[in-house]
């Protein structure tokens, strides 16, 4: 148990460090006293995030020049002066906005909550505010308050409604955070900005839009821990039931938000959320077509739920109020899957069986849900470390009973009779007797010949010497943060990464190292040991680690290994001799050779 706690705490530490330290560490001691109304959030599992503002109208283009990356940052990227940016409001007329259509899409997608940008860093209020004229009612030809209509349409459908509010960054205000192109940073009085805009506006939002499920703060700054606590207390009085996101800052807030596009690899206790955007940008960009398919969304949702969290997926409607075609299409398809399989997602908790080559698990009392994301070639799903007595196994959709055998704590389920209809995750249900067993964080990673490849993720490394497991953050375009867990700091043979793997089938296997390697690390020798064999290799250059550029990984085949006897093997990767960091190791891939 101690070990499990250690792993969980370790993962929180590792994954709480956001992009460029923008997000302070979330205080895990604060999480002990949970918000009394947190349960709906823990049960929700799936939320819809909406980024909508003047930037949606610009759509990634300013004065004929295209900007890539996160669209809501265009004012900052192009350093647009406040007076010029204000002109955009005069042309902002989202005549196609239809609150009922948006809320119905959310309902059809199967989300349980929705959070929309009331004011993003650009400083424009998408609601009727008496605090400023730079709002949708006063400054645009649209003249209506879309937030009012949307809050009502969502609530009517039983969807919790919440506001995103950029409490510190406000590029429109002389005293707001981070506009350095119009205003002198050294002359800023953040307290004045909080007093005169942020707090009065948050009070409007917490007063005029009915009960808010969530207030989603972002990119904190300019306040001490004591000031943040007073800020929270003052707002809490208006709506004690409303949950505040951890990006209120200073380790406070009611639930933890993981940095953009980051799923913790092991279960995390407490209430938390992973946020992803549907393509590469949070705000609408006309030329961003990198939409995740419904299959990808469903796999992501199952994966996040298997670690005990919520997925809040973002869409960026355009300046006319249209939600992009592919967002509508894929959200609806996700909802279709949830109609048949939602029982394994909503109100579930993290599965107590670690990730397997076939997929991940979620749980409810007496039931373990197997999210089969990769169907095994032999139709046999091995659930290792299953201690409880099994009473029955069936496919969730259709309830067909499935044969199973138990060999010690190995549960084998035969899914041959489950039709091979196209399905991103086939959910199997294991009903068992007794209390759920604890998650075994030290279980070896399973490797089986029933899959084209088996991935042993860096997170499962036991490191020696200076080697450590780290989350690396980088962006492809601008502000679209990616996170990858790697073993780093392997500089000499004492800095080793060890992996315990259980290989269930005899045969030949090819081993590939997936790593990123800058110029200075290239052409160094390393070794991979498995069983009683040692394989040498020389590192190949991929890319530098620069947080503003993609981190490129190569899959470098380094060994062929014959497994005569199924069992537990130890794989050790380390430098052959002392030198620079060998590489950043993302995973070991094990491919059965047919
Ligand atoms: C912030 C915003 O700047 C961005 O525009 C968007 O609204 C996003 C949802 O949140 O960006 C962040 C904030 C924190 C991290 C990454 C991006 N982080 O901690 O990794």
Confidence class for position 33, pLDDT limits 50, 70, 90: confident
Q: Which of 15, 16, 22 to mutate to test the pocket of ligand 1 (most atoms within 8 A of CB)?
A: 22
Specify the pLDDT at position 242.
98
Helix (H) or strand (E) holding 325: helix 325-341
Residue 14, ligand 1, Cβ within 6 A: no
Residue 257, ligand 1, Cβ within 6 A: no
Nearest CA owner, ligand 1 atom 3: 219
Specify the pLDDT at position 259.
73
Confidence class for position 391, pLDDT limits 50, 70, 90: very high
CATH 2.60.40.1180 range(s) for the chain read: 351-441
pLDDT at 221 over 70: yes
Crossing angle between the packed helical segments 99-109 and 325-341, to the nearest 10 degrees: 40
pLDDT at 322 over 80: yes
pLDDT digits (tens, 9 = 90+) for 82-102: 999 999 999 999 999 999 999
The ligand 1 atom at the shortest distance from the C-alpha of residue 23 is 19
pLDDT at 25 over 50: no
Comparison of pLDDT for 25 and 470, the residue scoring more: 470
The ligand 1 atom at the shortest distance from the C-alpha of residue 22 is 19
Looking at every residue in the chain, the average pLDDT score rounds to: 94
Measuring CA to CA, which residue among 484, 501, 502, 471 is closest to residue 573? 501
Measuring CA to CA, which residue among 571, 579, 304 is closest to residue 461? 571
Specify the pLDDT at position 362.
98
Confidence class for position 32, pLDDT limits 50, 70, 90: low
CATH 2.60.120.260 range(s) for the chain read: 454-592
The single-letter DSSP state of residue 487 is E
Q: What percentage of the chain has pLDDT greater than the value 90? A: 91
pLDDT at 29 over 70: no
Specify the pLDDT at position 1.
30
For residue 241, report the distance from its CA to the centre of ligand 1, in Å. Answer: 25
Specify the pLDDT at position 416.
97
Fold annotation for 44-344: TIM Barrel (3.20.20)
Residue 72, ligand 1, Cβ within 6 A: yes
Max Cα–Cα distance, the chain, nearest Å: 75
Q: Which two tokens stand for residue 133?
A: 């004229």
Coil, helix or strand for 338? helix
pLDDT digits (tens, 9 = 90+) for 569-590: 999 999 999 999 999 999 999 9
CA distances from 246 to 16, 26, 359, 458 (A): 10, 7, 29, 27
Specify the pLDDT at position 296.
97
Reduced 3-state DSSP string for 226-263: HHHHHHHHHHHCCCCCCEEEHHHCCCCCCEEEECCCCC
pLDDT digits (tens, 9 = 90+) for 109-131: 999 999 999 999 999 999 999 99
Q: Which of 218, 248, 264 to mutate to test the pocket of ligand 1 (most atoms within 8 A of CB)?
A: 218
Query: For the domain bounded by 351-441, which CATH number is listed?
Result: 2.60.40.1180
Q: Decide if 377 contacts 451 (C-beta within 8 A).
A: yes
CA distances from 333 to 157, 390, 397 (A): 19, 33, 16
Q: Which of 167, 168, 282, 312 to mutate to test the pocket of ligand 1 (most atoms within 8 A of CB)?
A: 282
The ligand 1 atom at the shortest distance from the C-alpha of residue 314 is 9
For residue 19, report the distance from its CA to the centre of ligand 1, in Å. Answer: 8
pLDDT at 10 over 60: no
Q: Decide if 283 contacts 70 (C-beta within 8 A).
A: yes
Burial code (b: 16+ CB inside 10 Å, e: under 16) for 425-444 equals: bbbbbbebeeebeebbbeeb
Burial class (CB in 10 A: 0-12, 13-18, 19+), 27: middle
pLDDT at 2 over 90: no
Specify the pLDDT at position 6.
29
Can you tell me the distance from the alpha carbon of 87 to that of 83, in angstroms, rounded to the nearest whole number? 7
Specify the pLDDT at position 42.
98
Residue 22, ligand 1, Cβ within 6 A: yes
Measuring CA to CA, which residue among 437, 387, 363, 440 is closest to residue 4? 440
pLDDT at 477 over 50: yes
Question: What's the mean pLDDT in 30-43?
Answer: 87
pLDDT at 43 over 80: yes
The ligand 1 atom at the shortest distance from the C-alpha of residue 283 is 5
For residue 199, report the distance from its CA to the centre of ligand 1, in Å. Answer: 21
Residue 76, ligand 1, Cβ within 6 A: no
pLDDT digits (tens, 9 = 90+) for 138-162: 999 999 999 999 999 999 999 999 9
Specify the pLDDT at position 274.
96
pLDDT digits (tens, 9 = 90+) for 521-547: 999 999 999 999 999 999 999 999 999
Can you tell me the distance from the alpha carbon of 499 to that of 462, in angstroms, rounded to the nearest whole number? 6
Specify the pLDDT at position 18.
31
Query: For the domain bounded by 454-592, which CATH number is listed?
Result: 2.60.120.260
In a 13 Å sphere around the CA of 528, the CA atoms on its Cβ side amount to 24
Which sign, positive or negative, has the C-alpha torsion 274, 348, 390, 358?
negative
Q: Which residues pair with 561 in a beta bridge?
A: 509
Contacts of 435 (CB under 8 A, 6+ apart): none
């Amino acid at each position: 148990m101690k070990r499990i706690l250690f792993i969980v705490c370790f993962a929180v530490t590792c994954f709480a460090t956001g992009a460029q330290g923008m997000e302070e560490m979330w205080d895990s001691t604060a999480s002990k006293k949970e918000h009394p109304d947190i349960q709906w959030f823990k049960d929700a599992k799936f939320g819809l995030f909406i980024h909508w503002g003047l930037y949606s109208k610009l759509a990634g283009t300013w004065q004929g020049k295209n900007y890539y990356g996160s669209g809501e940052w265009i004012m900052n990227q192009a350093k647009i002066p406040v007076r010029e940016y204000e002109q955009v409001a005069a042309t902002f007329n989202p005549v196609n906005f239809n609150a009922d259509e948006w809320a119905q899409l959310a309902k059809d997608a199967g989300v349980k909550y929705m959070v929309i940008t009331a004011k993003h860093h650009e400083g424009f209020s998408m609601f009727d505010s008496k605090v400023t004229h730079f709002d949708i009612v006063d400054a645009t030809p649209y003249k209506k308050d879309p937030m009012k209509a949307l809050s009502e349409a969502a609530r009517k459908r039983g969807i919790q409604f919440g506001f995103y509010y950029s409490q510190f960054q406000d590029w429109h205000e002389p005293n707001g955070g981070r506009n350095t192109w119009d205003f002198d940073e050294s002359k800023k009085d953040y307290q004045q900005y909080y007093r005169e805009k942020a707090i009065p506006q948050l009070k409007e939002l917490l007063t005029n839009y009915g009960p808010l499920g969530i207030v989603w703060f972002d990119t904190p700054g300019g306040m001490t821990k004591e000031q943040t606590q007073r800020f929270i207390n003052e707002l809490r009085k208006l709506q004690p039931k409303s949950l505040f996101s951890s990006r209120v800052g200073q380790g406070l807030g009611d639930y933890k938000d993981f940095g953009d596009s980051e799923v913790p690899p092991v279960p995390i206790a407490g209430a938390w959320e992973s946020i992803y955007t549907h393509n590469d940008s949070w705000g609408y960009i006309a030329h961003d077509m990198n939409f995740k398919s419904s299959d990808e969304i469903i796999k992501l949702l199952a994966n996040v739920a298997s670690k005990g969290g919520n997925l809040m997926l973002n869409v960026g409607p355009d300046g006319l109020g249209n939600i992009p075609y592919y967002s509508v299409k894929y959200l609806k398809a996700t909802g279709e899957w949830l109609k048949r399989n939602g029982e394994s997602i909503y109100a579930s908790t993290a599965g107590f069986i670690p990730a397997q080559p076939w997929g991940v698990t979620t749980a409810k009392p007496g039931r373990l849900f197997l999210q089969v994301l990769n169907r095994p070639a032999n139709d046999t799903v091995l659930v290792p470390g299953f201690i409880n007595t099994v009473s029955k196994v069936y496919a969730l959709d259709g309830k067909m009973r499935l044969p199973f055998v138990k060999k010690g704590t190995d549960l084998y389920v035969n899914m041959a009779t489950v039709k091979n209809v196209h399905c991103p995750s086939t959910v199997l249900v294991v009903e068992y007797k007794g209390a759920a067993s604890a998650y075994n964080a030290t279980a070896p990673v399973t490797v089986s010949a029933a899959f084209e490849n088996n991935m042993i993720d860096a997170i499962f490394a036991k490191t020696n010497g200076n080697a450590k497991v780290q989350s690396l953050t980088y962006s492809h375009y601008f502000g679209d943060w990616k996170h990858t867990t790697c073993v780093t700091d392997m500089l000499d043979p004492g800095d080793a990464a060890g992996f315990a793997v259980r290989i269930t089938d005899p045969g030949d296997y090819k081993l590939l190292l997936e790593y990123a390697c800058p110029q200075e690390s290239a052409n160094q020798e390393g070794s991979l040991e498995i069983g009683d064999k040692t394989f040498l290799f020389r590192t190949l250059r991929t890319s530098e680690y620069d947080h503003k550029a993609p981190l490129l990984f190569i899959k470098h085949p380094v060994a062929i290994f014959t497994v005569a006897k199924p069992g537990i093997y130890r794989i050790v990767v380390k430098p052959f001799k002392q030198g620079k960091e060998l590489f950043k190791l993302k995973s070991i891939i094990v491919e059965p050779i047919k």
